[in-house]
Amino acid sequence: MSKIIHHLLKELRLTGGRFEESHGLLEFDVLPELLTYKRILVETAKDEWRRKHPDRSNLPARFEESVRLGFSRVQEGSAVIPVERIVELGDDSFNMYVPDEVDDAAQIIEGTIRAAERDEPYPENLSARIIPMFGEWGKTLRPGEAIELGAPAATERVRFTPEIRERLLQGAGRPYEDRVVLTGEVRSASLRTTEGGVFSICLETGETVEGVFTSEQESRVTSALHQHTTVRLRLEGVAEFSGDGRIRRIHRVSHLEELAIGEERFDPEAPPIWEVIAELGASVSEEEWSGIPSDASVNLDHYLYGAPKASV
């Protein structure tokens, strides 16, 4: 039988200014800061899950909805918010919480702020697309105020301030590398002597990007080129992005797959149709179910089009 627990993920401490004066009272004006923290946490967790599962193209079903955060109290001494994660433990969990990519994401966020404080390199697992999101965090803070972040028993916490936010955003415009999954039409391919070659691919957005392929990938790239009117190439790899998030060049390709135009790629992680139907059914209230005629399967035409009712 499953069990619901509250796992204490991090503590957010609002310090300085109003928070010192209010003696633990959390004003409504700062509630958006909690929502922004969750958004950064969820997006970082998505990237961490993808990094851990490079062979799987789609996130688990309802991944974002499964990250449930809240707090049951606000402690005094400025406003200390224990961020709790609501987790459902399955029958095979032995009632033990096992850290996952959400816990990793919380550490990555904390490490990013610490790196900005100390002018050090950001954590390796931080996706560059996350950095601009910090620009939405701390907007309600006034001079002298900060959001401190750390483990509940931590003696040292990182401080997110308007100055740290600006420092993070200053580096957001620089080119960066990130993992990509792309599908498009191969427009050209030129071969080198031994190490592979260079190709260009027109993405579904209409943008054309150049990339490199290895000698082992040559046959698949050239095959997609020769069949470019009927075949699209799906690739996974690493690309260089400009500061505004546009793909500049594909640096490495780790996986290639040819898809016929109009062909839907099989997703082994997609939930079975019966689970989808059961989930939809569970979302309908008992009151609405009670309004469905018990003879609807026999008299469907009657209820839809007004045909004479058949005897049951």
* 88 CB-contact burial (10 Å; exposed 0-12 / middle 13-18 / buried 19+): exposed
pLDDT tens per residue, range 29-77:
889 999 999 999 999 999 999 888 877 768 888 899 999 999 988 776 6
pLDDT value of position 124: 81
pLDDT value of position 162: 93
pLDDT value of position 295: 77
pTM of the predicted structure, to 2 decimals: 0.62
pLDDT value of position 121: 82
pLDDT value of position 19: 86
Residue scoring higher pLDDT (299 or 145): 145
> What mean pLDDT is predicted for residues 278-291?
69
Per-residue pLDDT band at 18 (split at 50, 70, 90): confident
pLDDT value of position 250: 95
Q: Of 166, 167, 201, which is closest to residue 184 (Cα–Cα)? A: 201
Q: What percent of the chain has pLDDT over 90?
A: 45
Is it the case that residue 83 has pLDDT exceeding 90? Answer: yes
Neighbours of 165 (CB within 10 A): 20
CA 106 to chain centre: 13
Q: What is the DSSP letter of 75?
A: B
pLDDT value of position 104: 96
Three-state DSSP state, 249:
strand
Residues 6+ apart with CB under 8 A from 117: 158, 159, 164
User: What does the longest C-alpha to C-alpha distance in the chain come to?
Assistant: 79
* Average pLDDT score over the chain: 85
Per-residue pLDDT band at 264 (split at 50, 70, 90): low
Is it the case that residue 266 has pLDDT exceeding 60? Answer: no
pLDDT value of position 219: 92
pLDDT value of position 10: 92
Q: What percent of the chain has pLDDT over 70?
A: 83
- Residues of 189-227 as b/e, b for ≥16 C-beta within 10 angstroms? beeeeeebbbbbbbeeeeeebebbbeeebbebbbbbbeb
Pick from 96-100, 190-194, 206-210, 226-230: least confident = 190-194
Most confident of 4-8, 185-189, 308-312: 185-189
Residue scoring higher pLDDT (226 or 127): 226
Is it the case that residue 268 has pLDDT exceeding 70? Answer: no
Pick from 41-55, 131-145, 155-169, 237-251: least confident = 237-251
